[in-house]
């Protein structure tokens, strides 16, 4: 209707999803939605209230008191949790280490998926996560499944560290491998490529190449479906 389509980008940690999705959105003047940030914000909230992932009833009860907003800003987007900017703290190692346990909870996922679908109703959204092409937006016009070797993904995260961080490359690699396993093996919408997704192995691709590839695919599909 408005000439726009939806773009779903899935893949494991460090594949380059958010970096690329943000750039693709900006080139197309689309809205970027980081669904991982939503799972992280919920996790941060639960940790702060000392609610463990095993205590599903409490998690779901508290979920109702919590509002999550993604607000565009200079660096992509800010994450507001009940109005408070939590963009920094949701990236902590503590949150990263446990987010995959909260994201196994079926009703928690159902709640976030509903919010995500509403964000994409008017099209023109680039959404990244684990289950976007399979579950959240199965009708997305463009679906990308982005991967890279575990070594390369750990190295990318290593290069992002501050000098004061004392994480080793080996620690990062095993953290990432553990999270991949949980995300791939969970029962409810695991990390999996959609049948109609384009697979992009970015191990030896530059960010520009990946962005270029996806943007040209969007133009191609835009012509085909005559949006």
Give phi and psi for 223, each to the nearest 5: -70, -45
17 marked among binding-site residues? yes
- DSSP state letter for 135: I
Token pair 């949150």 in the structure block, residue: 95
Find the part of the chain contacting ligand CDP (CB under 6 A) among 11-19, 73-81, 117-125, 167-175: 11-19
The mark string for 147-176 relative to ligand CDP (x by CB under 6 A, - otherwise) is: ---------x---x----------------
Q: Which is nearer to ligand CDP, 207 or 227 (CB)?
A: 207
Give phi and psi for 162, each to the nearest 5: -80, 155
151 marked among binding-site residues? no
Give the residue, chosen from 53, 76, 129, 133, that forms a contact with ligand CDP under the rule CB under 6 A.
129
Q: Is 33 in the site for ligand CDP (CB under 6 A)?
A: no
Q: Which is nearer to ligand CDP, 78 or 222 (CB)?
A: 78
Burial (CB < 10 A; 0-12, 13-18, 19+), residue 124, is: middle
Residue 85 CA to residue 105 CA, distance in Å, equals 25
If one counts every other C-beta atom within 10 angstroms of the C-beta of residue 66, the result is 14
Find the part of the chain contacting ligand CDP (CB under 6 A) among 7-15, 25-33, 54-62, 218-226: 7-15
Residue 125 CA to residue 30 CA, distance in Å, equals 5
Find the part of the chain contacting ligand CDP (CB under 6 A) among 53-61, 76-84, 126-134, 219-227: 126-134
12 marked among binding-site residues? yes
Q: Which residues of 173-196 are buried (b: 16+ CB within 10 A; e: fewer)?
A: bebbeebbeebeebeebebbbbee
16 marked among binding-site residues? yes
Q: Is 77 in the site for ligand CDP (CB under 6 A)?
A: no
Q: Which residues of the shown chain bind ligand CDP in the complex (CB under 6 A)?
A: 11, 13-19, 35-36, 39-40, 99-100, 103, 129-131, 156, 160, 179, 183, 202, 205-207, 210
Query: Can you say which residues are annotated as belonging to the binding site for ATP?
Result: 11-19
């Amino acid at each position: 209707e408005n000439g726009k389509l939806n773009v779903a980008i899935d893949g494991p940690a460090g594949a380059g999803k958010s970096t690329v999705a943000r750039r693709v959105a900006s080139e197309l003047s689309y809205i970027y939605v980081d669904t991982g940030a939503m799972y992280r914000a919920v996790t941060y909230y639960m940790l702060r209230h000392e609610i463990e992932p095993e205590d599903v009833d409490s998690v779901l009860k508290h979920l109702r008191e919590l509002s999550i907003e993604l607000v565009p800003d200079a660096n992509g987007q800010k994450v507001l949790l009940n109005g408070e900017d939590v963009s920094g703290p949701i990236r902590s190692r503590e949150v990263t280490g446990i987010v995959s346990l909260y994201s196994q909870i079926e009703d928690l996922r159902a709640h976030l998926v509903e919010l995500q679908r509403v964000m994409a109703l008017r099209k023109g959204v680039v959404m990244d996560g684990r289950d976007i092409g399979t579950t959240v937006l199965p009708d997305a016009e463009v679906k990308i499944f982005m991967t890279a070797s575990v070594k390369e993904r750990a190295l990318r995260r290593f290069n992002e560290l501050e000098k004061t961080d004392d994480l080793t490359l080996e620690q990062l690699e095993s953290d990432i491998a553990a999270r991949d396993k949980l995300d791939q093996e969970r029962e409810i919408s695991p990390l999996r490529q959609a049948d109609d997704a384009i697979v992009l192995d970015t191990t030896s691709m530059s960010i520009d190449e990946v962005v270029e590839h996806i943007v040209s695919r969007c133009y191609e599909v835009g012509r085909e479906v005559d949006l």
